[in-house]
Chains A and B, each alone.
Chain A
Amino acid sequence: MNAPGHVLVVGASAAGLGTAEALRRKGFTGRLTLAGAEPEPPYDRPPLSKRVLAGAWEPARAHLRTPDVLDVLDARFLLGDPATALDAERRSVSTASGRTLTADAIVVATGIRARRLSGHGGPQGVHVLRTLADAAALRADLLGARRVVVVGDGVLGAETAATVRTMGLEVCLVGPQPAPMTGQLGPLVARRLSALHAGNGVVLRAGVLLDGLLTRDGRVSGVRLSDGEELEADVVVTAIGSSPATDWLDGSGLRLDDGVVCDAYCRAADGVWAVGDVARWHHEGLGRLLRLENRTNASEQALAVAGNILGENRPYSPVPYFWTDQFDVRIQVFGLPSAEAPARVVEGDLAQGRFVVCQDGPRGPVSVLGWNMPRQTRSHRASLVDHYTRPLEPTAP
């Protein structure tokens, strides 16, 4: 296959920049354009709920690359100009400022957007956390606050609650699950996480939903929960899920279904690819469509997409991985833990606060979960490689 003359990447964050860098590293010498909605140079999101929120890092420290490294990439950056439409057949993209960009290959890397309670209006003091601007606004508000309610017990909610608590504020974490992150960690480790939060002074309200916001003079003053309880709050953070940023792709000709649907090569249409949080591709090892919202996937899928744009023709079948930092604990997860699969401790000890847990499915280990044991966790990853990377045999009828 001939290398394309011009590659256009829409979305200039981890996955988009990663694709551009991998293209150059693999020898691509054609034109490269990155178009992004946000005005900032490409930055990293994981620090936003950790050291940027806590104030330990200046926001600029979250930038993914220094200006001189971006220069070497020899790419055109069109920042602060969101794409508004794509025509897959013509391979052209229109932007808010009125540009029309055409390319031989287009990479969709627009990520996801935080779900909000009530659009952009609503009372003051209610925040989401997805962008650098969100982190700055939340931090500014927290500096004058005493009581904070975090709504949402997934990874972002749990991590945000931990960071806010370490800033010395009173925090209540509210969510529908029996323990925070049960869906992402399985019940055994989620219970341990619940104890970690409680031990650090986070008040937990498990198994309840948000019923409504309480307000005073246009500002949030608390929340009402589904069991009728009311909690006072100066600041409310909602981490209640997200949706793939695909609204601009309506009418593009691409198949949209909880993300941009792609084949095993991350191809959405001829000459159109998707990468990162927005991509829902066919994972051959699992034999089904998968969309991952984590940082390692953004980089690894970027590498795969760059290779496939250049004709490598390799299916992308990674072992999923994410990590989260809460209080003094780093949790690392390889594979896809389930709420049902039996879990066994393979290293360390739950009580000691250093352990590795494996979960077994019908075909062997499906996840490895480490709690403050990074090296050992990585070495157990090997047990998952077969399950995730070997194409699933079609089952006999």
Chain B
Amino acid sequence: MKITVDEDKCCGAGSCVLTAPDVFDQRDEDGIVVLLEARPHRERHDAVREAATVCPAAAIHVGEEA
């Protein structure tokens, strides 16, 4: 799994941090997403896919291969 985030789309909702706190964080000043791990461990994949689904800005892209 390889995650990419689109900072320009992110609206700082923090839904991703609530769903997968080991993988996502938010910048202090404006709440924009910070990717902690672009290739997270297998056990976090479900949470990451859920975060991508609930992100209200469609800012999280999950690539399955590579």
A interface with B by C-beta (< 8 Å): 14, 18, 21-22, 25, 44, 46, 64-65, 69, 295-296, 298-300, 302-303, 321, 323, 325, 330, 332, 372, 374-375, 377-378, 381
A interface secondary structure, majority: helix
| In the complex, the 10 A-B pairs of residues with the closest C-beta atoms, listed nearest first | A374-B31, A378-B14, A295-B56, A374-B12, A299-B54, A296-B56, A64-B58, A375-B26, A25-B49, A21-B53
Q: Are A375 and B50 closer than 8 Å at their CB atoms? A: no
Q: How far is the CA of A21 from the CA of B18 in the complex (A)?
A: 20
Q: How far is the CA of A94 from the CA of B11 in the complex (A)?
A: 37
Q: How far is the CA of A330 from the CA of B57 in the complex (A)?
A: 14
Q: How far is the CA of A300 from the CA of B53 in the complex (A)?
A: 8
Q: Are A332 and B13 closer than 8 Å at their CB atoms? A: yes
Q: Are B50 and A299 closer than 8 Å at their CB atoms? A: no
Q: Are A299 and B55 closer than 8 Å at their CB atoms? A: yes
Chain B nearest CB from A355 CB (Å) reads 14
Q: Are A330 and B58 closer than 8 Å at their CB atoms? A: no
B interface with A by C-beta (< 8 Å): 11-15, 17-18, 26-28, 30-31, 49-50, 53-58, 61
Contacts of A378 in B (CB 8 A): 14, 17-18, 26, 31
Chain B nearest CB from A54 CB (Å) reads 13
Q: List 14 A-B contacts (CB under 8 A).
A: A25-B50, A46-B57, A69-B61, A299-B53, A300-B15, A323-B12, A325-B11, A374-B12, A374-B30, A374-B31, A375-B14, A378-B17, A378-B18, A378-B26
Q: Are A22 and B17 closer than 8 Å at their CB atoms? A: no
Chain A nearest CB from B9 CB (Å) reads 8
Which of the listed residues A69, A321, A375 has the most CB atoms from chain B within 10 Å of its own CB?
Answer: A375
Contact for B56 among A25, A46, A65, A377, CB less than 8 A = A46
Contacts of A25 in B (CB 8 A): 49-50, 53
Contact for A296 among B28, B30, B54, B61, CB less than 8 A = B54
Q: Are B12 and A332 closer than 8 Å at their CB atoms? A: yes
Chain A nearest CB from B40 CB (Å) reads 16
Query: Which single residue of chain A is at the shortest CB-CB distance from B64?
Result: A72
Chain A nearest CB from B18 CB (Å) reads 7
Q: How far is the CA of A302 from the CA of B53 in the complex (A)?
A: 9
Q: Are A65 and B54 closer than 8 Å at their CB atoms? A: no
- Contact A303 B50, CB 8 Å, known A65-B58, A295-B56, A378-B17: yes
Query: Which single residue of chain B is at the shortest CB-CB distance from A319?
Result: B18
Q: Are A18 and B30 closer than 8 Å at their CB atoms? A: no
Q: How far is the CA of A110 from the CA of B56 in the complex (A)?
A: 18
Contacts A64-B58, A325-B11 known; 7 new A-B pairs at CB < 8 A: A44-B57, A46-B57, A65-B58, A69-B61, A298-B56, A332-B13, A372-B30
Contacts of A44 in B (CB 8 A): 57-58
Chain A nearest CB from B31 CB (Å) reads 2
Contacts of A377 in B (CB 8 A): 31
Contacts of B13 in A (CB 8 A): 296, 321, 323, 332
Contacts of A46 in B (CB 8 A): 11, 56-57
- Contact A330 B17, CB 8 Å, known A303-B54, A323-B11: no
Q: How far is the CA of A300 from the CA of B17 in the complex (A)?
A: 14
Contacts of B18 in A (CB 8 A): 378, 381
